[in-house]
Chain A
Amino acid sequence: MFDFIQAVLDGILFGTIYSLIGIGFTLVFGVMHKINMAYAAASIGAAYIGLVSASAMKAASAWVVFGCSLVAGGVLGFLVYLICFHLIPLRNENATLMSTVGMLLLADELISHATTGAPQNYPATLEDVMFRFGEMSMRGDLVVVFGVSVVCTAALLLLLYRTRLGLATRAVAQQPIAAQLCGMRVAQVNTLTFVITGVLGGIAGALICSAVGSLSILLTGPLTVKGLIVTVIGGLGSVPGAIVAGLLVGGLENVFQHFRGVTERDMYVMLLLFAFLIFRPGGIFAKGQGRD
């Protein structure tokens, strides 16, 4: 029984990363009604650039790597926007979608080339620390994952709901024509959305690599899939939905693993996706539609 609770707890802690990645997918969708398939791959790419630039600065502590990944994430977010959503005409739905798929594969190839396909050691935060509460314990690095993710999510929510930029972001997402009539610049909001989600992705990417202990392209596929599942379960465009869905997927994933083993785990996660698509296609918080 304690094992079970322990598994759920670890899953929820780790699930905060899924929440971050889900937020990245869902925010772009909310604002532009486009899916950025390259998001998770760019996040791992940012984590790699963070690692390389931190070691170039001879400062390989996990926190410096996180900082560098954050910056790299913002830059990559901007580049993805520029190439896939600015240079390629937005009006052509298929072209933009395919370009982000192309970007996903390109990012994979670039990482694979740069690392010559070998997993890279990634610095841990609180490697050997264990927090104990009676029979329960929490891995120190997972607590860090949890803490950093919560801080990032809170910062994003503050940005969205307490700042002028956040107001414009929500306005463009809800009613782009009215947003323009209020004097907001859609292209500017779109660009900043990509930079901000890119920053979140850079942090999420570094957190994952740090928790796993290494960086390899084997991470991009599963992370893309989990991110998309979280986005769908949370409801496309819903930030609160992505947060809750991330925790749900993280927790359930470990439950499945606990009962059925690691090889069967993701099968059940996929079935969970279908269950949602059939019974709650609008996501956890399928929100009421306004008039007009």
Chain B
Amino acid sequence: MSALLEVKDVVTAYGKIEALKGVSLEVQQGSITCLLGPNGAGKTTLMMSTAGILRPRSGSIQFAGAEIAGAAPHAIVARGIALVPENRLVFPGMTVTENLRAGAYQRADKAEIEAHIERMFARFAPLKARATQLGGTLSGGEQQMLSVARALMSRPRLLLMDEPSLGLAPLIVDEIFRIIAELNKDGTTIFLVEQNAHMALKVANHFYLIEQGKVTFSGDPGSLAEDEVIRRAYLGSARA
């Protein structure tokens, strides 16, 4: 395996406050890599920095060998990275189908896009019945599915997911994780942020723990340190 995404010494700040204080990690091609950490650790900041919404102050982010730190979001999407953002961010006033078309914005293959939308409806069955319903009127779980499906419409090589299980009922969470495993089996590399460490570690090949803007631990699920990592992911070491 080789690294598809290589993050090195990334510092990202909001004004004077550094949310990432030199983060380094790797996501191997074909893997499900999981980023765990307590609230405010900097997980979303790292996702947004990788997707180009936030500009790192320093450090490097390499994707498939090319430097993407500081590149514009549209250029990063064009290279094959898609982010399922925290809180889903579906387009509330657009229909489900339009949301999916928006995800395919950079593609020109019109006929294939429509066929792809049909395949999304087959994979995310609850969305099909709601094809003409506005995004803002969907339930939380449906919005999450829509957000994942929208990201997939750009045919990414790397799918970033920021807390896809947030606020969902256990049954829906199971469903989301089933989809994650399935996508990965189909060849999409996945970099997943989760607070639901138990679920995440079941599907992940590798994990990192981030605390207060720094990676403090990394390892493989099943290793001896797992319990300690889970505890710290929930509580944060400072408060433990």
Residues facing B in A90-107 (CB within 8 A) are none
B224 to chain A, nearest CB (A): 38
Q: Is the beta-carbon distance between A181 and B73 smaller than 8 angstroms?
A: yes
The docked-state distance in angstroms from the alpha carbon of A183 to that of B79 is 10
- Closest residue of chain A to B150 (Cβ to Cβ) is A182
B201 to chain A, nearest CB (A): 27
Task: From known contacts A167-B98, A291-B140, infer whether A183 and B105 are also in contact, taking CB-CB under 8 Å.
Answer: yes
The docked-state distance in angstroms from the alpha carbon of A179 to that of B89 is 9
When distances are taken between beta carbons in the complex, the residues of chain A under 8 Å from B89 are 175, 177-178, 181, 292
The docked-state distance in angstroms from the alpha carbon of A287 to that of B136 is 12
Q: Is the beta-carbon distance between A292 and B154 smaller than 8 angstroms?
A: no
Residues facing A in B110-155 (CB within 8 A) are 134-138, 140, 143, 150-151, 154
Q: Does A58 contact B (CB under 8 A)?
A: no
When distances are taken between beta carbons in the complex, the residues of chain A under 8 Å from B98 are 167, 170
State how many residues of chain B have any CB contact under 8 Å with chain A. Answer: 35
When distances are taken between beta carbons in the complex, the residues of chain A under 8 Å from B85 are 177-178, 181
When distances are taken between beta carbons in the complex, the residues of chain A under 8 Å from B52 are 180
Residues facing B in A178-195 (CB within 8 A) are 178-185
When distances are taken between beta carbons in the complex, the residues of chain A under 8 Å from B53 are 177, 180-181
A230 to chain B, nearest CB (A): 21
Q: Is the beta-carbon distance between A171 and B94 smaller than 8 angstroms?
A: yes
When distances are taken between beta carbons in the complex, the residues of chain B under 8 Å from A291 are 92, 136-138, 140, 143
Quick one: which of B91, B93, B140, B154 contacts A178, CB cutoff 8 A? B91
The docked-state distance in angstroms from the alpha carbon of A3 to that of B3 is 79
Q: Is the beta-carbon distance between A175 and B91 smaller than 8 angstroms?
A: yes
Q: Is the beta-carbon distance between B136 and A289 smaller than 8 angstroms?
A: yes
Q: Does A174 contact B (CB under 8 A)?
A: yes
When distances are taken between beta carbons in the complex, the residues of chain B under 8 Å from A289 are 92, 136
When distances are taken between beta carbons in the complex, the residues of chain B under 8 Å from A134 are none
Quick one: which of A167, A288, A292 contacts B102, CB cutoff 8 A? A167
- Closest residue of chain B to A180 (Cβ to Cβ) is B73
- Closest residue of chain B to A290 (Cβ to Cβ) is B136
Quick one: which of A164, A170, A183, A288 contacts B91, CB cutoff 8 A? A170
Q: Could you tell me which A residues sit within 8 Å of B by CB distance?
A: 164, 167-168, 170-171, 174-175, 177-185, 287-292
